[in-house]
Copies of this chain bind each other. A is one copy, B any other.
Amino acid sequence: MHGNHQHAHCIEEAITTANRICDERGLRFTDLRRRVLELIWENHGSAKAYDLLENLGGDYSAKPPTVYRTLDFLQENGLVHKINSLNAYVGCSHPLKHKDCFFLICSACNEVEECCGSSVAEALRSMASEQNFRPDHTTLEIEGRCVDCLKASQ
């Protein structure tokens, strides 16, 4: 992300995928929803609801419920995740193969990386089963420094 990547691709792919998902599920990927998703994807950081609100200029004289409803829709359909420790929202990096995700949040560059599955999920599963706890939803957000920022600070 830090590096030289063509971020327009990321946005475009996110929008295309969202469009396809909505089509498949008989949902409407409206202008507003597309626009909000684009704004969230403007970079690989997280977006705050009221910043989205501000940036929905032009045709959209948006007010809070507009944005929060749109965020709800996007979250319900796995296109966006809320980062509770930041009160902010990120685009889902792989809305199709979705399972046991967690987030690495760099406090230096503010990028958020969504990670999946693997041994962490397994450890969580077995911990829960030992405790006889039935998990419905897991919030796992790890704040620290990403590899690029660590390198840069050396």
Chain B residues with Cβ under 8 A from A134's Cβ?
144-145, 150
Q: In the complex, what distance in Å separates the CA atom of A119 from the CA atom of B119? A: 10
Which chain B residue shows the least CB distance to A132?
B147
Partner pick for A142 among B120, B122, B135, CB 8 A cutoff: B135
A10 on the B face (CB < 8 A): no
* Proximity bits, A97-115, B CB within 8 Å = 1, else 0: 0000000101100000101
B84 x A139 contact (CB < 8 A): yes
B136 x A145 contact (CB < 8 A): yes
Chain A interfacial positions (CB closer than 8 Å to B): 84-85, 104, 106-107, 113, 115, 118-120, 122-124, 126-128, 131-147, 150
